[in-house]
């Protein structure tokens, strides 16, 4: 009877007190603070019903999968978009379709590309949090010093190449002291250059197309910069670049005049190069008529398989997806919202001077995302290898290098598909 009384008391405590849920997230510093502010707003709103415990977790893409496999996951977690496909194929996430339908939430409520990032094999496994696109960033002071119009960025790739020449300097010994542009700086989107040439990386189902003719042209363009400036000269010049998160960052220090960067670059300019004159615009393409090309990515929020409180986790996710929750998070991180509608004044009050440019790129018909395949990370590594191969070795033929990538990744994709067919996840 004593045990029954204790059990009943526990039930009443659960019923009358707040249900505590654990939320793993990866952000630190000011991004982490924005997340804490969002969690605090939720806890205040749901006081007495649900309480979210925010836990900062490094290497979350690996640790979360281990926790799920061990049967002890958090109730809700924030991961990267590239995790969605492999996690879903491993049955590591709770599908959200029924909950979305019941809540009246659908693709029309989002900037389409971010909804699509969370969908895999016809089901929704996640929802977006902080989104990003990439654009050309240029140093207006360096433009002015070179006799160029600082308010006029290049609109074609041919024009970018010509401006890069005018913005490149050497000292009396012939050493590079400033370059207008380098495809490898900062080197985070080496895989994506084919899209500015009208290329594609796979057919979306079963075939790798890394040596598509348009892709080959992109890698020939990459190699052209090594031919133009010299591999050893570029290496010597780049050896003086400092860490990205520092005033010695190549772009912030004025060593590179133009580069492809994400919406977050504004934050680093404010921190390490306050007062810098800069601009952001769509990165120009090599194909006439192909405009506003960009890559889109996002952080996402999921309910891990085995969550002890999935209903309460969903209540938290709905708050995150509301204008209130999303705008606390995105304004705090100085990003735009992935939601189709934003509150009056959100864009006008935003501290990022080019935030509308990045939001417009997210809505472009030519925005692209990472490949929705379980072997994407391997493909990404192989494309990085190909990028370094063609820019470091002028004897390497881009077509042959990309054919090697196709052969390697196709084997892995075929193996993955056989496994998924055997498990009944997909049909042949």
248: CATH? 3.40.190.10
> Considering the domain boundaries, does residue 385 fall inside one?
yes
Q: Interhelix angle for 213-229 vs 398-422, to 10°?
A: 140
Q: How far apart (Å, rounded) are the C-alpha atoms in residues 146 and 182?
A: 17
Number of folded domains that form the chain? 2
> Considering the domain boundaries, does residue 287 fall inside one?
yes
Both 383 and 364 in a single domain? no
Both 307 and 408 in a single domain? no
Q: How many CA atoms lie within 13 A of 240 on its CB side?
A: 14
SS3 289: coil
> Considering the domain boundaries, does residue 150 fall inside one?
yes
> Which residues, 6+ apart, have CB-to-CB distance to 161 below 8 Å?
181, 224
> Considering the domain boundaries, does residue 119 fall inside one?
yes
> Considering the domain boundaries, does residue 314 fall inside one?
yes
Question: Under a CB-based contact definition with an 8 Å cutoff, are residues 406 and 101 in contact?
Answer: no
> Considering the domain boundaries, does residue 235 fall inside one?
yes
Both 143 and 95 in a single domain? no
Both 36 and 111 in a single domain? yes
Give the model's pLDDT for residue 2. 43
- Domain extent, residue 406, equals 134-295+372-417
Written in H, E and C, the secondary structure of 66-93 is HHHHCCCCCCEEEEEHHHHHHHHHCCCE
Tokens at residue 376, please? 């994407």
Q: How far apart (Å, rounded) are the C-alpha atoms in residues 375 and 377?
A: 6
Pick the closest to residue 185 from 131, 228, 138 (CA basis): 138
Both 252 and 343 in a single domain? no
Both 348 and 265 in a single domain? no
- Which residues of the chain fall below pLDDT 50? 1-16
Both 183 and 250 in a single domain? yes
Q: From residue 266, how far is each of 161, 296, 317 by CA, in Å?
A: 24, 17, 28
> Considering the domain boundaries, does residue 422 fall inside one?
no
Both 246 and 387 in a single domain? yes
Q: From residue 19, how far is each of 109, 274, 413 by CA, in Å?
A: 29, 45, 43
Question: Under a CB-based contact definition with an 8 Å cutoff, are residues 68 and 305 in contact?
Answer: yes
Both 263 and 409 in a single domain? yes
> What is the Cα 352 distance to its own chain's centre?
18
> What is the Cα 211 distance to its own chain's centre?
24
> Considering the domain boundaries, does residue 261 fall inside one?
yes
Give the model's pLDDT for residue 6. 36
Percent of the chain surpassing pLDDT 90: 94
Both 31 and 175 in a single domain? no
Which of 368, 383, 409 delimits the end of a domain?
368
Both 408 and 389 in a single domain? yes
Tokens at residue 356, please? 């509308």
Residue-wise DSSP of 197-251: GT--SB-SSS-B-TT-HHHHHHHHHHHHHHHHH-HHHHHHHHTT---SSSTT-TT
Q: How far apart (Å, rounded) are the C-alpha atoms in residues 148 and 237?
A: 24
Q: How far apart (Å, rounded) are the C-alpha atoms in residues 242 and 183?
A: 17
Both 345 and 327 in a single domain? yes
Strand residues in 293-362 grouped as ranges (E): 294-302
């Amino acid at each position: 009877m004593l045990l029954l009384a204790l059990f009943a008391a526990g039930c009443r405590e659960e019923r009358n007190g707040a249900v505590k849920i654990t939320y793993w997230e990866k952000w630190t510093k000011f991004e982490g603070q924005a997340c804490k502010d969002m969690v605090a707003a939720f806890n205040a709103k749901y006081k007495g019903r649900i309480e979210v415990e925010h836990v900062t977790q490094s290497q979350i893409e690996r640790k979360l999968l281990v926790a799920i496999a061990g049967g002890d996951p958090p109730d809700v977690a924030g991961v990267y978009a590239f995790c969605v496909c492999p996690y879903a194929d491993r049955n590591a996430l709770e599908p959200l379709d029924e909950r979305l339908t019941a809540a009246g939430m659908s693709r029309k409520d989002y900037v389409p590309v971010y909804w699509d990032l969370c969908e895999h094999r016809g089901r929704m496994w996640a929802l977006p949090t902080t989104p990003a696109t990439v654009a050309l960033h240029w140093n207006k002071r360096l433009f002015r010093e070179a006799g160029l119009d600082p308010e006029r960025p290049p609109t074609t790739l041919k024009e970018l190449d010509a401006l890069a020449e005018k913005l490149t300097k050497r000292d009396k010994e012939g050493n590079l002291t400033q370059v207008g542009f380098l495809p490898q700086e900062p080197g985070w989107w080496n895989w994506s250059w084919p899209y500015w040439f009208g290329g594609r990386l796979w057919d979306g189902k079963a075939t790798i197309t890394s040596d598509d003719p348009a892709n080959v042209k992109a890698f020939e363009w990459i190699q052209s910069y090594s031919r133009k400036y010299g591999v050893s000269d570029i290496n010597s010049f780049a050896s003086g670049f400092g860490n990205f998160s520092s005033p010695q960052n190549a772009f912030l220090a004025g060593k590179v005049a133009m580069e492809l960067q994400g919406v977050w670059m504004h934050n680093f300019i404010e921190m390490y190069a306050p007062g810098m004159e800069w601009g952001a615009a769509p990165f120009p393409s090599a194909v006439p008529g192909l405009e506003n090309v960009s890559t889109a990515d996002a952080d996402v929020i999921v309910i891990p398989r085995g969550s002890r409180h999935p209903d309460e986790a969903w209540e938290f996710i709905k708050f995150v997806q509301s204008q209130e929750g999303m705008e606390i998070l995105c304004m705090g991180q100085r990003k735009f919202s992935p939601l189709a509608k934003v509150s009056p004044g959100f864009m006008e009050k935003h501290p990022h001077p080019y935030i509308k440019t990045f939001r417009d790129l997210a809505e472009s018909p030519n925005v692209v995302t990472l490949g929705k395949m379980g072997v994407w990370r391997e493909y990404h590594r192989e494309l990085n290898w190909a990028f370094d191969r063609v820019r470091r070795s002028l004897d390497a033929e881009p077509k042959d290098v990309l054919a090697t990538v196709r052969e390697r990744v196709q084997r892995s994709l075929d193996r993955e598909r056989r496994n998924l067919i055997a498990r009944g996840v997909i049909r042949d």
